[in-house]
Structures are given as C-alpha cells and as structure tokens.
Structure 1
C-alpha cells in the first residue's frame, strides 16, 4: 500500500472507511519496506505518529472536528525542529545539539490541520547542495532510478513523496532546493513568496533567501498543505503582515484570462534540448506564445552565489574554525571561500538585487505567469561530478540551480511541475508568478495536471 492522495485519505478517514491509526501503520510499514533503497528518512517517529493517530481517531469517534488533513502522514526535512530530536540540518556537528524542545511552526500548523508527522528526512549538509548526496547519512536516491540523484538540498523530501512513502513532505528552498529535487524526482513542489510561510523553528542557511514549502504528487494536495501552513507568526521577523490567502477555493478556476509567457535569454540556453522541449510542451498546452526576457538573469545568478556564500560563511564561521574536519569537504570549502568575499562585493550584489527585482516585477504588468525550466538536465547519476552543457564541461553541484537561482534571488512564488517526455527520467518546469500570487501559479499547475501534461506517478520500486 502506498500513501495515495492526501485529499482522498483525509476523506476516507472523515467517512470512517479507514482509521488514522491504520493509515499511519500502513505508512510506517511501507517506509520500513522501501526506505532501505531510497534512504529518504534519517529519523522515524513511529511511537509518536501512532499515538497522534489514535488520539485523532478518538476525537473523530466523539464527533469532534479533526481538520482538512485529518490522518494524513507527512515528513519534514531534518532542518525542521522536531520535539525530542536534535536538528541535524544534514550535518555531523548538529546531531550533537540538545534535542529540540518543541516542533517548528509549520509542523504545528500541519498537525493542527490533522496531519501526522512520521519522521525527518535526509538533506544536503546545511542545505548547501543541489545533489541530495549527504556525506554523513549517504545519498537520498531517486526513486525512479536508484542510481541517480534525488536533487538537493531537499532530496529526502522529494524522494519520500515520489516513492509513495508519504503524500506530503516539507522542504526548504534557498537557491532551488524545492524546485530542483521536485524536477529530478518527478513531483510537484511549491516555493512560496519570500516571507509567506513562517521559518520559526528551522535551522537557517541564508536568511535573506531562505523559503519553506511543501511537496506532493498532486496539486490539490499541494494546495491543501499550503493553505494549512499559512498564517502570522511573530517568531519569524521577515514574515509578511498578511492574512492567510487560501488557494484551494480557486484551484479549479482554470486559466482563462491569464497572460502566460515563456522566459527567453538565460532560460533558453544553458540546458539539454529535452529541458526546453518540456517547457515547449507546457507552453503549447497552455496556449502561451509570448516570450519575455528577465534582464541580466545570469548576473542575478552570480549575485545570488555571492550573497549565499557570504551569508552562509558568516553563519558557520565558528564551526569552520573549531571543527573543519567534521564538514563535508565540498560544503566546507565553499563556506571558507565565502568567508573571503570582500564586503564591497556583497554590497554590490545587494544593490544589483534591488535593481533586478524592480525590472523583473515590471514584467508582471504585462504577464501573469512566466514559464522556465527547473533544471538544465535530467537527474545525473549518483557521484557524477560534471556534465556538458552547450559544449562546456561544468561541475554538477553548483550548476543544477542555473535556472532556479535568478528566481528565488528576488523571492518570487513558483509552482514546480513534473513533465515526462518519454520513457526516461522526469523533467521539471517552473510556473513563476508575481509576489503573493501563489494562487495563480497553482491554478496553472492544476490545469496542466488536468490536461495530463504534468503528472507525478508513484515510483515503481
């Protein structure tokens, strides 16, 4: 038994055709049977999950409301605080921290909607990763081909959903860490607007770029999770002062009247041909013929690298000084390099960021949605160090984010949709909307799902 749709499972529990405890037990059994191959989980919370499920069943039997996600299992990237566990953030050093005293804000939100936390998920060390290969816990493997990368840094989250271990998982996205693994693993993901969802109770990477968001195998499930996650939180100082704006009620509204364009320039090169074929297929299905160019997107990516390296290095400087040997060397060396970046370069990157944001936002005066690739290629093989793009050999680890970094750099909301062109591994397309218009991005994703252009089958493991 795989976990199926979150919406269908919640409906079945509400109707009494299955209990939350039975659904949770089946989920734990599937994880036990499958995760030895995918390596998506680092921590299982069987006792907690079964106790939560039993309590929910008792409330349901007493006629109490149990929430729109009642009984739905979920798991979280291990940079989320989970009460009783040290918050690893994919590292060796952090697992020596005292256990978290309480759950992260978004875990509390999902459980408040009736969902049941079953475990914590593998990730790239300190979220500085696009591959899903963790030097301490081993790689999370792509469920559609176990010899290939799941993507990172939320690789365990994407792999768990793609393998049917849980219907919903939470991840983080600084430079592409939701959109890259969603593409490589063939599932849906949502990177909301910067400042939309609370980051309280999560281990940071780059404060000015960090976002949190959900993964799912269907857009309705993605919207259910996203709606439950919204809300004010004084513990996150960058959270916008906005009331929740549920997207589920408008999900089936269709795309009539939406102005949809394809990103050109930087987003029409730097990738394998099938990447652009996936975007073309999506554009054709949506009737999108217009093209727009995000000005200086390649410089936006360079500026994102600069800010990421400098802020990340500042966060980890004491650890680098005390325990350099306990880092993944690839992570350590990039952080050390970040510590040497002159302050004037960082200031220049931030000035450019403001300039770039103004000009990209101006594009939304004439379009509602911009389509772009998620990654420059299908999932590379595990351990693959380089690939060839446009005749140039490039390292895999930094360049899987070539199309995602210029978008998260200015905090735009993106629905990541999976596209299957042939019998090979999946590809991903970014559906990019104006700030605070997650509803528009998800409406387009839902239309593509209804039309059969975007789909997220459970991996045949």
Structure 2
C-alpha cells in the first residue's frame, strides 16, 4: 500500500489496516505529515504541528501490534484538533493572539486523552475564528484558512481548519467545536462529514469555552462510519465537564453497519420547509430535497418559531461570550480579534432580562421539537444557505433578502444549536462542482439514527466525492 493510498483511506479503514498488519501506524502518520507539508502552505489549516508526539504515539501502536496485543479502535489514525483543545505542552490559542495565549497546559483535554487511548496519533492544532466567534475562519492573527476545493473561498468556521484539513487529506479526522454551527458549516463548505452530538454527550473538559450553555465538541471525518467509530471511542462521563452526562458504551458504529447492509426501512423522515426554504439559495434547497427523496421522506414540516429560536440563540451567545471575555476586553481590547471584539463588547452589555427571556424560550422550543420527534426520527434541512462564499465577501443574496455574510452563514444551523439536538452534516455535490451540506437532525441521544441516515445516503451514492482536492 502506497502512502498516497494511505492518505485516501477512511479512519476506520486505517485502524483496521494497522490492526491486520497491512500498514504501520508510523507510515500513516508520515503520509499525513508529508501531505500536510505539501498542501498547507496554500490552505493554512494548521497553526501548530506536533510531529514528534505523533511519531511517538505511532511507534507505541506498532510495538503493541508486534507484541500481538489487541489494538484500540483508532489505532494509528492521524488526527488534529481545533486550537481551543488543550494539548499538553502547547499553548491553547483559541484563535487569539499567540502572545496572549498564556502558559502551555500540562494536561491534554479529555477528548485528546481519550483519542490517544483509542490509538489515534495527534499531528497538530488547527486554525479557527478567534474565540470560536465566526463562520469563515478569516483570522487576523493566523490568517484565513482557504477552501481546498477553491482557494479563493473560505473553509467555513469557526472550525474551518478542521474541515479543510480533513478535506485536503492532511489528517483522517479532526475534533472541533460547534456552538451555532461551527462543525456543520465547515463540513458543508469543505465537503466532509461532521457530527454535532447531543449537548453533553462528549466532554468539553480541557477545551476553551465560548458559550458554556451551548458549546458542543465533535468530530469531522470522511464518512459516517468514521464519525460513529470516533464517537463511540470518545463518549463517556467526565468530572471535568458538569454537562457531560452520557455513559460510555455507545453502539453507533453498529447502527451504521446495519444501515449499510439492511437499509433504513421504517425510518420516519421529514424535510423542514418554511424558514429553511426562505433562507436557502437554490443549491441548498436542491440538496435538502434530494436528501429527503433519497431517504424516502413522505412529509414536509414548517416549524413555527424558528426565527425566534435563532434570535434567542444570538442573545445567549452574545451575552455569555461577552461576560466570559469581558475582563480581557477591558484590559486588552487592542490585542483582541478586530473582527469580533466589538460584538463581544456589545454582548457583555445586554440586559439580563433579555438573557432570561431567551432561556425561557429555549425550553419552550425544545419541548416543541420533542413533540415533533414523537412523529419523526430524522429531520432534513440545509446546513448552509449557499456553497462556500468568497474570501472577504460582504453580502449573500438569498430568497429572503440580502444579508451580511459573516453572521448569516449560520442561518440554517443556529436555530437547532441552542436546544442541543444531535446533527450529522452530510456533503452533497452541486451543479457548480462545489459541495454543500445537509443537516440530519435527530432527537436527543439518537446520534445512531442520524448516522444511520447518513450511511444510507453514502450507500446510495448520493454524497459528495472529493477525491483529493487541489
């Protein structure tokens, strides 16, 4: 097997090949590092490379295989993390000014340590919108991350480095965060798969917060089986995160395999219309309709109160992030990201009554969606209103009107985020050749259903096939 072949493998295939002795973990890591060096100068996905650590972790896996030990589920798989995850010995940037990062942590974030325990090999940290506040990864300190499919376009955000690195085969999977769409947006723009789990399913221990009550962590990868295997390996209770409530022992990979072999007969699917059609461009609407048809959806659903849900999510985001960063805004305003420091400052001044009302509405909207999931298993909606926008683009023209680009890329994701539902972003092709993502939304705790639907789309040949983007 050549290094080029190794780079094109899915994460689950890499781990299985290592376990069977078809390729070594060191070869996988070396191939990823070589691809990183060849590609990243034009993409700018990485802020740090942890080559020595990755090779040491790979050698440990290879030694275990030589000794005949059973290998863990992600053995030898090269991965990277958004630079808001703590990595021992590496400053946690959270997209901010490197000079203000502070001392490097002595301990890995929980998901980093669990990835290591599962056999994965960390090759670096990835670029992002500063403080995770943005949808384009146009970062004033670390530069813009470019889309691997068109370098004049953004990779999405705030986990843009994650989407770009996976799409460009510079790692097999990446770990990012999603508050208002920061996994689903880069997945859509870069043509990869992303999982925003149920709120509290994956620990946020050792990650830099943005909005305590909405932040989710989750994986990017090249397919649904990868996402399922990674989720199963990382899920479990953690005292470092008070919101982490899920026990270990998830069986989502088994659900994906069943869907691939048996299909999804009986899965109740509905396509979201109304707001989601009004604010979708033609590529986004076409993709959501294609997915609904492929999954056998018999129903369309116009959810009430979606604009209010987006507004409430905005209020909670602005208020909590503003309060979190207020001391830094007061002391070091000039050193903070110019693209979002004023928004944070404005958020810190929001009346408490607005925040309370937004939280009350959050509970009501969650109850509304829970009732919907008594009728349906999976809801289909676009992940972004359009394909990846051009770098520096100020406006997007949509059926609902002309809107500013940076805050409006999250039009489809924000109403779902703040009630903590699990969502799989699945990339589809467009007539113009760029990918666009569709959200598969399930009830709390039912990642298995969303991933099974994603697997059925893959098996049916409906998803975006990028090859090795240039």
Q: How many residue pairs align between the two structures? A: 461
Aligned twin of 2:433: 424
User: Are 1:66 and 2:71 an aligned pair?
Assistant: yes
Q: Secondary structure at the match of 2:147?
A: coil
Residue 424 of structure 1, CA deviation: 2.5
Match of 1:151 among 149, 156, 174: 156
Aligned counterpart, 2:306: 297
Say whether the 8 Å CA contact 1:182–1:189 is kept in structure 2: yes
CA RMSD in angstroms comes to 1.2
Structure 1 position 446 matched with structure 2 position 451:
no
What is the DSSP-based 3-state SS (H/G/I as helix, E as strand, rest coil) of the residue aligned with 1:147?
Answer: strand
- The corresponding residue for 1:75 is 80
Asked if the contact 1:88–1:94 (Cα under 8 Å) also holds between the matched residues in 2, the reply is no
How far residue 56 of structure 1 moved from its aligned partner, in angstroms, is 1.4
Question: 1:207 and 2:216 equivalent?
Answer: no
In the other structure, the counterpart of 1:42 is 47
Q: Deviations over 1:56-78 (max 9, x none)?
A: 11111011222111100000000
- 270-279 vs 145-154, greater mean Cα deviation: 270-279
In structure 2, which of residues 205, 230, 233 is the aligned counterpart of residue 228 of structure 1? 233
Q: Does 1:118 align with 2:127?
A: no
- Determine which of 370, 393, 401 is the counterpart of 1:361: 370
Report SS of the residue matched to 2:134.
coil
User: For residues 96 and 171 of structure 1, what CA distance do their matches in structure 2 show?
Assistant: 19
Distance 1:453 1:169 in 2: 23
Matched ranges for 1:252-263 at <5 A: 252-253=257-258, 254-263=263-272
1:134 aligns with 2:142: no
Other-structure match for 1:162: 167
- Structure 2 gaps, min length 5: none
1:387 is displaced (CA, Å) by 1.4
Secondary structure of the 1:97 match is: coil
Alignment CA distance shift 1:360-1:94 (3 Å): farther
What's the CA shift string for 1:231-271, capped at 9, x where partnerless? 11111101115343220112132311111000122112112
**Alignment check: 8 A CA contact 1:188 1:456 kept:** no
Partner of 2:420: 411
Change (3 A) 1:94 1:125: farther
8 A contact 2:128–2:157 mirrored in 1: yes
**Which string of whole-angstrom CA distances, capped at 9 and with x for unpartnered residues, describes residues 192-216 of structure 1?**
0001000000000000000000001
Q: Which residue of 2 aligns with 1:177?
A: 182
- 1:377 paired residue number: 386
* 1:288 Cα deviation from its structure 2 partner: 0.8
Q: Deviations over 1:258-306 (max 9, x none)?
A: 1100012211211211210111111111111201222201100000000
The answer to whether the 8 A contact 1:4-1:164 is kept is no
Which is worse superposed, 216-225 or 123-132? Answer: 216-225
- Please tell me whether the aligned partners of residues 194 and 425 of structure 2 are also in contact (alpha carbons under 8 angstroms): yes
TM-score normalized by structure 1?
0.98
Which SS does the other structure have where 1:291 is aligned? strand
Take 2:306 and 2:188, find their aligned partners in 1: how far apart are those partners? 21
